[in-house]
Structure 1
Amino acid sequence: MTSPVSSPGSFRGSSGRPRIVVVGAGFAGYQTARNLSRTLRGRAEIVLLNPTDYFLYLPLLPQVAAGVLEPRRVTVSLPGTLRGVRLVLGEANRVDLDGRAVHYTDPEGTTGELAYDRLVLAVGSVSKLLPIPGVAEHATGFRGLPEALYLRDHITRQVELAASGGNPADCTARCTFVVVGAGYTGTELAAHGKMYTDALVRRHPAWPRHLRPRWLLLDVADRVLPGLSEKLSRTADEVLRARGVEVRMKTSVKESTHEGVLLDDGEFVDTRSLIWCVGVRPDPLVSELGLPVEKGRLVVTPQLGVPGHPDVFACGDAAAVPDLTRPGEFTAMTAQHASRQGKVAARNVAASLGLGTAVPYKHNDLGFAVDLGGVKAAANPLGVSLSGPVAGAVTRGYHLAAMPGNRVRVAADWLLEAALPRQAVQLGLLRSWQVPLDTASPELARTPAGPGKE
């Protein structure tokens, strides 16, 4: 084993050690930073640039919106869990590949620059927008904690306003929720959301007996969870329909207004709630590098290196990683791939500094788990299809194993949710204009007077 050394002419930090800058603390970036710290053990300076001081466990975000989990349960402290990693709070604006530096803006609007010996781009993804009139103005995305907090308040508020309103048509519109996108997020959000609003209605003393919350799940695909097996799709579809969710496949939104949404089949749905879960697109930062991209994702080698730039690596949703298990294809934009790519990126960065050997990324899917609320779920661990309470137990066990922290707190919230009614109150922390759909930073809420202003 040799001590890591940087390439000739490279930048070194104040300690004389080579500096590794990791941009983004999602699944890929978090695992990269953690495994670099464990592998290098102080031989290099590891800097993590991220807009927030936490790692967000996205798969459990629908449970935050539905009042099952408290927000901090799905956030894992970066300073508290990444020993030997220096956190720099900021959002990357530009990468100077020739100057080997990352330019960023911190939460108070101050600009900064981080020079690097090695760079790992793990900036992740943002909501995918489609050119549909009114969607950007009236829809709510679901990629960050601010959006989940806003949606939880919004859903609660609509139900409470409907209970106290005198106009039947307005009450019906407020109790109608339209989710667009029947992938993981949209399916889980519709399933949990319907349970949440039903629980609100049951406990509300002034609720009109004739009025029932209505949830619609739309997608242009021919079935829910189109990326998974037909058996898992069928299980999820049956649970949704049994719960009262209107599943509309081969259907999408043609136009959105303040009064509701016009579907492409001609039906107009009166609603105050359009929730956009149609998928994600890579962070725009990688497209601005001037390097080859594939559908907005930065093209990398199987070793996660950027061709022509031996000091730059990329992984996660923003990287087009060759799928060695399916020649000619790229790995899907999933948390499962991102986490494992982060570990490989850490190993290969260390190898580029002289410690260990580089390896290609290769991973076969071990199965998928979709939480449908309560004891219901759809899962196929190791290819074995499961449904009902067994699938529910496997799904929650998987999440507890995958989370890098807060496991006891999450499990405690699940136990409390099973034994006690949910606390349905509005916190009033966010307004709709603070969580715009068209944003490259869903992890940050928009501030009224710009960064750094109270």
Structure 2
Amino acid sequence: MARPRIVIVGAGFAGYETARHLLRRSRGAAEVVLLNPTDYFLYLPLLPEVAGGVLDPRRITVPLADTLAGARLVLGQADGVDVDARTVSYTGPEGRRGTLGYHRLVLAAGSVNKLLPIPGVADHAHGFRGIPEALHLRDHVIRQIELADATTDPRERAARLTFVVVGAGYTGTEVVAQIQLLTRDVLAHHPALAGARSRWLLLDVADRVLPGMDERMSASTAKVLRDRGIEVRTGTSVAEATADGVRLSDDSFVPSRTLAWCVGVRPDPLAESIGLPMVKGRLQVDEFLAVSGHPEILACGDAAAVPDPQNPGHSTPMTAQHAVRQGRLAAHNIAASYGVGKRKPYRHRNLGFVIDLGGWQAAANPLGLPLSGVPARVAARGYHLLALPGNRVRTATEWLFTAVGSRPAVQLGLVPGSAVPLDTGAPELIRTSR
């Protein structure tokens, strides 16, 4: 290699930030190679708005070629790392195998759906990790309303208008909030369903929604959801999923044709396959993000168990805030390994969280200040516009159109069910999004 080659695996929050800051620091002195299954960075926090019909999926995808000029993009799914030979193996989008040599390696492979061993879930639940899943879930929900309109069986109609979301964390809460508003708009286009209401259930084994977040945010969010008629059932989960409904852990049965699985994520299987020290499925790293015994390899984001300086003995949570900061630090410390600057340990300050509940409703605690209603909504929208690396004007424009109009009430038919298997961690699958 004529120049040092830095290979970054994954273009999620951590990988994208690593590449962006490395390009600024290297100024062409090193070859920056980004290995990713897609040619875009996906802004995951706004994915529920795609499923809810608020945003076009292109608004939350940022082209890597446009925003990371100077980096070499290799399309493919990483499936192995030879730490002795310093190579990364991958499978391209058309099944062709390839290998990349590296001088420095950044593992930011992200995460996949966390699939629990519950009967029927893998066959009947809808995952939520990328644009294909979001579009498929949106089409499925609209289809159920259209089929409910077509049937004369009251029990079938009730089942098709019943939607179950498992997981009351960040993703599940926003998914149920956004798509519930979508069903309201779609129902308005079906006179035969006049007076009918969709039934939404949000389940979680925790004792409150948004477990792990500020209790005031949790309480205000739960109140908004319940005021909309969403059944929030804490301490409850799914015991079995079937084609006709779900059996809950309290042994009750809910007739339904829709089960959205938002239980959480687990690190990409690539991390475990390398054979390096692990901590609960994540690569063990030091405070400088270096992998144990291999200072030439850094890991960050969901793939890495980064020591949390504010919670000794624990790793940082798998959140976008941490991934972004760790990506920037990875770039800094790699530059330092070439004599540009000095290595720094990972430090962070909690900036708070925002939960967008659709309409004019949201919950937020920027810098610890609890907000709800319109102020929280402004904070949420402002935060996302600042954090989104591109498409800001178009995103804001679509928000405006949705605010004064209604959400599209038609299926797109772009993604067949076979293209979005729930078990995205299966090693034989080439995942299309992350």
With the shorter chain as reference, the TM-score category is over 0.9
Residues 212-241 of structure 1: CA deviation (Å, up to 9, x unaligned): 101100000000001111100000000000
1:449 equivalent in structure 2: none
Which residue type is aligned with residue 287 of structure 2?
A: P
Aligned partners of 1:177 and 1:39: how far apart in 2?
A: 49
After TM superposition, give the deviation of residue 242 of structure 1 in Å.
0.6
After TM superposition, give the deviation of residue 442 of structure 1 in Å.
8.6
Residues 19-45 of structure 1: CA deviation (Å, up to 9, x unaligned): 000000000000000000011110100
Residues 283-338 of structure 1: CA deviation (Å, up to 9, x unaligned): 01111111111110000010000111111000000100001122111100000000
Matched, 1:52 2:38: yes
* RMSD, aligned α-carbons: 1.1
Residues 87-146 of structure 1: CA deviation (Å, up to 9, x unaligned): 000000111111100000110111100000000000001111111000011101101111
TM-score, with length taken from structure 2:
0.98
Aligned partners of 2:46 and 2:219: how far apart in 1?
A: 22
After TM superposition, give the deviation of residue 204 of structure 1 in Å.
2.0
1:126 touches 1:442 (CA, 8 Å); kept in 2?
no
Which residue type is aligned with residue 22 of structure 1?
A: I
After TM superposition, give the deviation of residue 203 of structure 1 in Å.
2.7
1:226 equivalent in structure 2: 211
Matched, 1:174 2:174: no
2:405 equivalent in structure 1: 420
1:320 touches 1:330 (CA, 8 Å); kept in 2?
yes
Aligned partners of 2:98 and 2:148: how far apart in 1?
A: 48
Matched, 1:438 2:423: yes
Distance 1:442 1:273, change over 3 A: farther
1:218 touches 1:247 (CA, 8 Å); kept in 2?
yes
Aligned partners of 1:421 and 1:268: how far apart in 2?
A: 33
1:147 touches 1:442 (CA, 8 Å); kept in 2?
no
Aligned partners of 2:194 and 2:181: how far apart in 1?
A: 18
Residues 372-427 of structure 1: CA deviation (Å, up to 9, x unaligned): 11110000001100000000000010000011111111101100001122222111
2:174 equivalent in structure 1: 188
Matched, 1:387 2:372: yes
Matched, 1:122 2:115: no
Aligned partners of 2:25 and 2:161: how far apart in 1?
A: 52
* Match 2:291 to one of 306, 315, 322: 306
Aligned partners of 1:346 and 1:232: how far apart in 2?
A: 34
Aligned partners of 1:312 and 1:328: how far apart in 2?
A: 22
2:277 touches 2:292 (CA, 8 Å); kept in 1?
no
2:261 equivalent in structure 1: 276
1:20 equivalent in structure 2: 6
Residues 251-287 of structure 1: CA deviation (Å, up to 9, x unaligned): 0000001111000111101111000001110001111
Aligned partners of 2:168 and 2:431: how far apart in 1?
A: 22
Aligned partners of 1:74 and 1:247: how far apart in 2?
A: 29
2:272 touches 2:283 (CA, 8 Å); kept in 1?
yes
1:355 equivalent in structure 2: 340
1:7 equivalent in structure 2: none
* Match 1:35 to one of 15, 21, 29: 21
2:188 touches 2:194 (CA, 8 Å); kept in 1?
no
2:327 equivalent in structure 1: 342
2:316 equivalent in structure 1: 331
TM-score, with length taken from structure 1:
0.93
Distance 1:443 1:184, change over 3 A: farther
Aligned partners of 1:422 and 1:273: how far apart in 2?
A: 20
